[in-house]
Amino acid sequence: MSSPVLILSKPVLAALSEGRPVIALESTIISHGMPYPQNVETALACERLAREHGAEPATVAVLGGKLHAGLTADQIEYLGKAGTKIRKASRRDLPLMAARGEDGATTVAATMLVSALAGIPVFATGGIGGVHRGAETTMDVSADLEELARTPVAVVCAGAKSILDLGLTLEYLETRGVPVIGYRTDELPAFFTRHSGFPLPQRAETPEEIAAAIRAQRAMGYPGGMLVANPIPGEYEMPRAAISQAIEDALADARRQGVTGKDVTPFLLSAVVRLTGGESLKSNIQLVYNNVRLAAHIAACL
Ligand code: PSU
Ligand code: MN
């Protein structure tokens, strides 16, 4: 069901109306999260991987002011090539962008919102935004956390990067009543690494179990989504010392340059890629693939 504000691609519309599995994918990770051309290659590979695992991919973006679920390869190429020239679009940005017919790459928050409008229950990304270090003075808390509290979409991620304050991120999710489920782990994964030292309240062993939890959440009329934390496969993990050092250096750079607001996360991500000589990008790509596979399995069970 397309509407004046929402456009579903033909394959996504067909899959939804036939009751086949569909998973959403975001586009800020394409325009702001990775360099070109790896961003486009990764986005297209995620789509192929979803299909191989039986789910139709719905990559989400704002184009000409319309919310799109399901993009063409040319549209993905456009978002990747334009990179940070494309607006990073979160929930707050959508109304005026629609009025003005603008283009934007959707964050986790905006992608969840579009997924819910389109009727897509599962969404795969790399990492979510969270509570930034120093948030007690900056109040920089990602809109992704609020969206998880209010919008009924299950988000599969590899945890949150330790550019964030992981402890405060978990506290915030607890306060807002968001189910946070470790997939075969008792610990919040730290994106580039499997372990953060922060225990999770619950774990699940199979995609079936997670799908059953999503169905139960719906049946309870429970407003809000779910966070599924899926650790990066061990063979693609970054060495812990190297990544910690890169993150500390990136944070120091951001402070020196006075980076604030929505520029913080993209700045830190590209600094970490540079400081690790590109190694972190390889891990980033693999953990996204791992999340796409799990999201497709969950969608197939729903
Ligand atoms: N984490 C990543 N790569 C990304 C992002 C997060 O590993 O590209 C993006 C997501 O789109 C997420 C956004 O929604 O950054 C969070 O931005 P902020 O911290 O400004 O809310
Ligand atoms: Mn922020």
Residue nearest to atom 1 of ligand 1 (CA): 127
Is there an atom of ligand 1 within 6 Å of 80 CB?
Answer: no
47-105 residue pLDDT tens: 999 999 999 999 999 999 999 999 999 999 999 999 999 999 999 999 999 999 999 99
Is there a contact between 116 and 153 (Cβ–Cβ < 8 Å)? yes
- Distance between the two ends of the chain, CA-based, in angstroms? 20
Is there a contact between 166 and 200 (Cβ–Cβ < 8 Å)? no
Burial of residue 35 (CB within 10 Å: 0-12, 13-18, 19+) is middle
Residue nearest to atom 21 of ligand 1 (CA): 142
For every residue of 194-214, DSSP letters joined together read S--S-B-SEEESSHHHHHHHH
Q: Could you give the residue ranges of the DSSP H alpha helices within 223-277?
A: 240-257, 264-275
* Domains detected in the chain: 1-120 (3.40.1790.10), 122-302 (3.40.1790.10)
Q: What's the average model confidence in pLDDT over 102-123?
A: 98
DSSP lists the bridge partners of residue 181 as: 202, 228
| Ranges 12-16, 178-182, 250-254: which has the least confidence | 250-254
- Answer yes or no: is pLDDT of 259 > 80: yes
Q: Could you give the residue ranges of the DSSP H alpha helices within the chain?
A: 10-17, 28-31, 38-52, 73-82, 94-100, 108-118, 135-138, 143-150, 166-175, 207-219, 240-257, 264-275, 279-301
- Answer yes or no: is pLDDT of 1 > 60: no
In the numeric block, which tokens belong to residue 215? 């169905």
- Answer yes or no: is pLDDT of 161 > 90: no
Is there an atom of ligand 1 within 6 Å of 147 CB?
Answer: no
Is there an atom of ligand 1 within 6 Å of 157 CB?
Answer: no
Q: Which protein residues have a CB closer than 5 Å to ligand 2 (ion)?
A: 140
Is there an atom of ligand 1 within 6 Å of 127 CB?
Answer: yes
pLDDT band at 222 (very low <50, low <70, confident <90, very high): confident
Residues with catalytic roles: 26, 161
Q: Is 168 left (phi over 0), alpha (psi -120 to 50) or beta?
A: alpha
Q: What's the average model confidence in pLDDT over 173-195?
A: 97
Give the pLDDT confidence score for residue 163 in this predicted structure: 87
Give the three-state DSSP class for 276.
coil
Give the pLDDT confidence score for residue 220 in this predicted structure: 94
Give the three-state DSSP class for 167.
helix
Give the pLDDT confidence score for residue 2 in this predicted structure: 64
- Ligand 2 center from residue 211 Cα (angstroms): 30
Residues 195 and 37: their CA atoms lie apart, in Å, by 30
